[in-house]
Structure 1
Amino acid sequence: MPGKYYAPTGGHPGQDHLLTDRAVFTDAYAVIPKGTMRDIVTSFLPFWDDTRLWVIARPLSGFAETFSQYIMEVAPGGGSEQPETDTRAQGVLFVVEGTATLTVDGAIYELKPGGFAYLPPSATWHLHNRAQNTLRFHWIRKLYETVPGLAEPDVIITNEDQITPTVMPDTDGKWTTTRFVDPADLRHDMHVTIVTFEPGAVIPFLETHVMEHGLYVLEGKAVYRLNNDWVEVEAGDYMWLRAFCPQACYAGGPGQFRYLLYKDVNRHMALGGFK
C-alpha cells in the first residue's frame, strides 16, 4: 500500500548530538568542549595524592583576570591535607560525582553530588576521597578582596537540593537561579550559582556587563550567544567570558539546560595609578 514502503533517509543524529566540533578561543570568550578534556591535558598539584585535574580557567592578562577553575578527579584513597597553598585564596567546591570527605576548622562533612562548600581564606581545610568510587568536583579559586569594616565571609556547607531556586522576573518560572550565597551579603566578592532554563526559555537580551564569567554546563544543551557568534553547547562544555562580552542563550530542549556560573561581584573597580 502507498506509504508502507521503506525509503532510506540517511538518518539523523539523536537529539543529544551536536553538529560540529566547537573549541574556540577569541579575544572575548572561549568555548572548551567536553571532548577536549583528555588524559594528555591533565595537570597535577603539590600535596594532592592520587589526584589529577583539568584547568579550565586561569587568570590571563587582558582576558578574564579574577579567578581559576579546576575539575578535580580524586581516586579512592586520594586527597590532600594541604590543598590550598595561597593564604589569600578563597574557594568554592561543587561535587558532581562521588563523595568528598571535607574537614573545615575541625568539623567533618560529607559532600555528595550537588554538595557545595564556600571556604574563606582563613579556613583550615583538607579533603579526601574515603569512598570506593572516583570523586569529581569543581574547585573555583579567587583572591579575596578585603574591605575595611567588612568581616570575612563565613564557611558555607550545603547542597543544591536544600535550596529553593529563585525565579527570574517575567519568565513564568522557566529561568531560575540557585543561589548558595545571599546576594545582599557584601562580604562576598564572588558568587557561584546554578542557572536553570526550561526548554524554550531564553536570556531575552544581550547581557553586557563588567562581571567575568565561567559557565560549566551541568545538564542539557542550548545555543549560546557569545559576542557576535551563536555556538552550540552541551553537558560537559565550558564557556569562559571576559568582562563586557555580550551573551544570551536559547534553551531548545528536550530537557533542562543547567550550568554552574562564576562571577565577581560587590567591589570597586581597581584604578590605575599615575606617576
Structure 2
Amino acid sequence: MSYALPPAGLPAQSDKLTGTAVFTEAYAFLPAGVMRDIVTSFIPNWSGTRAWIIARPLSGFAETFSQYIVEVAAGGGSDRPENNPEAEAVLFVVEGQLDLSNSAGTHVLQEGGYAYLPAGQGWTLHNRSDAKATFHWVRKRYEAVEGLLAPEAFVTSDAENAPIAMPDTHGAWATTRFVEPTDLRHDMHVNIVTFQPGGLIPFEETHVMEHGLYVLEGTAEYLLNRDWVSVGPGDFMWLRAFCPQACRATGDAPFRYLLYKDVNRHAKLPW
C-alpha cells in the first residue's frame, strides 16, 4: 500500500501560481501543492520533527479537532508528545517506521499502522530507523459521559482490517472501520473510505459531524457545499458541520481517504 505525502520543498521560481487552495464559510480545500517547507510548524518536546498543521479548531467553523501531518527524522521523536491531558489521539503512519510505547505496550508501527491513544494516558513515539517517518496525528478533547467507561488504547493497521461495503453499493463504496460504530465510549471515528473507479456518494450528505478528509491515493470529483472540486493524492478537505458533500471517483485506481468525524455525543448547547 502506498500513501500520499506532502511534497515539501519549495516550487521553482519559474513555476506559475496555479494552486487551487480555498477557504470558505463552509469548507477549506488544501491541495497537496501548498504543503511546503515554509508552512511547517515545530512542536514542544519533539526532536527532529516538523508538522503540517492542516486543521485546528476555529470558532464558527470546525471546532472539535486538530489534524497534523508529522515528519520525524531518523533518531527523532518525543518522550512527552502530548501536553493536554484531555486530548485523545489517533496516529496513522503513511511512511517509514515508528516505535510507540503506551498503556497497551510497545509497538512498531509500519506504513499503514494505526493507534488509538486515550486521553490522560502517557505515550512516547520515536523513529529509531535510518530513514524519515511520517504520520497523521488527529487530536480531539475527549467528551466523557457518566456511566460510560473511557475506551482503551489499541494498535492495528490498514492491512489488518477489511473494508466493509456500504449497503446496496456492490462494493463500489466501502469503509475500513477501526472502531465499532455502536461502541459509544468513542466520541470520534478516524476511518478509511474507499471508492472503486466510478463509485460515488449518490446524494448530498448533510450532517452534524465535522470532517477532515486526507486523500491517501486516487482521484475524484468531490462536492463541497456548492462546488465540485477535483481532488487527488495528498489533498486535504476540511468541512464544518452540515456542509453538503458528495463524491464521484475518477481514474482507473481506487480513491481512498482518511476520514475524521465526531460522533456519539449530544450537540453542545450554549448555556
Equivalent residue for 1:14? Answer: none
Contact 2:86 2:142 in 1 (8 A): yes
Contact 2:104 2:153 in 1 (8 A): no
Shift of 1:107: 1.6
Looking at structure 2, the residues matched to 170 and 252 of structure 1 have their Cα atoms a distance apart, in angstroms, of 20
Per-residue deviation at 1:106? Answer: 7.1
What do the CA deviations read for 1:170-203 (whole angstroms, capped 9, x no partner)? 1111110000001110000000000000000000
Q: Corresponding residue for 1:66?
A: 64
Could you tell me how far apart the structure 1 residues matched to 2:270 and 2:134 are? 39
Question: Is residue 78 from structure 1 mapped to residue 76 from structure 2 by the alignment?
Answer: yes
Runs of 4+, deviation exceeding 4 Å: none
Percent of aligned positions that are identical: 63
The SS at the match of 1:35 is: helix
> Residues 28-177 of structure 1: matches in 2 within 5 Å?
28-105=26-103, 107-177=105-175
Aligned equivalents of 1:169 and 1:249: distance in 2? 16
Specify every segment of 5 or more residues in structure 1 that has no aligned partner in the other structure, as ranges. 1-19
Q: Is the 8 A contact 1:22 1:231 kept in 2?
A: no
Q: Which runs of 5+ in 2 are unaligned?
A: 1-17
**Aligned equivalents of 1:123, 1:226: Cα separation in 2:** 36
Matched, 1:262 2:255: no
| Counterpart secondary structure, 2:38 | helix
Secondary structure in structure 2 of the residue aligned to 1:214: strand
Q: 2:241 aligns with which of 240, 243, 246?
A: 243
SS of residue in 1 equivalent to 2:241: coil
Q: Is the 8 A contact 1:198 1:253 kept in 2?
A: no
CA distance in 1, matches of 2:121, 2:159: 25
- Change beyond 3 A, Cα 1:119–1:106: closer
Q: Distance between the aligned counterparts of 1:23 and 1:122, measured in 2?
A: 36
Q: TM-score, normalised by structure 2?
A: 0.93
Deviation at 1:21, TM superposition (A): 2.8
1:40-68 deviation digits (Å, cap 9, x = unpaired) = 10000000000000000000000000000
Higher radius of gyration, 1 or 2: 1
Counterpart residue number, 1:232: 230
**Alpha-carbon RMSD:** 0.8
Q: Which digits, 9 at most, give the CA deviation of each residue in 1:232-251, with x for residues without a partner?
A: 00000000000000000100
Post-superposition offset of 1:253:
1.6
TM-score of the superposed pair, with normalisation by structure 1: 0.91
